[in-house]
Amino acid sequence: MAREVRLEISEEDSEKFNDKFVDLTFETKEDGVQSPVNLTLSKFDTSTDLPIVDLLNSENQSITEILKKPSGIVRLTTPTKSAPVSAAAAASLTCLFDKPATIQPMTVSQMPMSAFPANAIFAAGPTDISLRQLSLDPMPDYMYAKLKEECALPDSQLENAPEFGSFYAAFIDERWERVQCIRASKIDKQAYCVYLLDVGAFQYVRKEAMRRLNSTSPFKKMLMFKCKIGGIKPVTGGEVWSRESHEAVREFFEAACGEPVVVEPSPPGWSQWKQLNAPGVPTCEARLSCCGRDIGDWLIACGLALPINAPIPSPNSQSLLAFVPPPINIVGGRI
């Protein structure tokens, strides 16, 4: 017997998330027919007139949390600034576009076990932060400059539809990015879901904004890794973080103005981050700090997180009913 339920999302947000929800819960078969994907019911709260539920996908990820993550690609480091590519410079490049490019993530064994500095690249929330070891600089600058030159070559043009699982370049937010094509969009037949290999986020892009990669490029490694803030949990219990906590994490790193982040991996150390069909990059739970400020402690002070062993407050707790985050000024030494 069917029963009407809802996710823990406001009416205002539900309209904005409609297309994204369809994309998460339906798949398109080879014959073009859309059918629902298999989801697991992980929450069924009947304390309200309309029961509140949550669903888990095949990768054990909360549909509610995925929807609440801020959308769009917001980079946290200063974009690479490279000079315009002249026709002569582009012509002098030795490139091959007739073979598939190969790009591999760094292995778990290559990651440091003790504290190390890193650049913050992308932050969707407390459990999804993309960083890159500071010791790899300035390699990313060279890689982006070279990629821009190669995408200006006529041979890089993509004539046929991109192959799922293959690597390409895509023009996203005014910059060429290395991406992996994940699947076709379920909403727009001319768009594709791609994974930004050097940012650690998914995005939709149309075929005309994609290019083939140079198979002879020396840049064959993904330099990005993923991190989850250790030692904290959501104030309401469970595994779902509030939209405010997602936004606060991003604001914390933006306020740092590109200053290095100190990463202190927690036991048991490194494992693999896996989403959809994207490459499994190294990931760890860690303490993260910037300019001497610990982000986990700051989220706790803001009332957006609890220490991992702390009891969950009552739903009527004043700390949950009314809270205004303090201003952020990391570089100035004040939070």
Residues of the chain with pLDDT under 70: 1-2, 12, 15-16, 18-19, 28-35, 59, 69-93, 313-335
Q: Which residues contact 268 (CB under 8 A, 6 or more apart)?
A: none
pLDDT at 7: 84
pLDDT at 77: 52
From-to residues of CATH 2.30.30.140 in the chain:
87-104+137-222
pLDDT at 85: 45
Query: Cα dihedral angle (155, 160, 161, 167), rounded to 10 degrees?
Result: -30
pLDDT at 105: 93
The CATH label, of 3.10.20.30, 2.30.30.140, 1.10.3720.10, 3.40.50.850, for the domain at 87-104+137-222 is 2.30.30.140
Give the pair of three-digit tokens for residue 315.
């739903």
pLDDT at 321: 42
16: number of Cβ within 10 Å: 13
> Strand, coil or helix: what is 312?
coil
pTM of the model: 0.71
Give the pair of three-digit tokens for residue 166.
């293959």
pLDDT at 322: 45
15: number of Cβ within 10 Å: 9
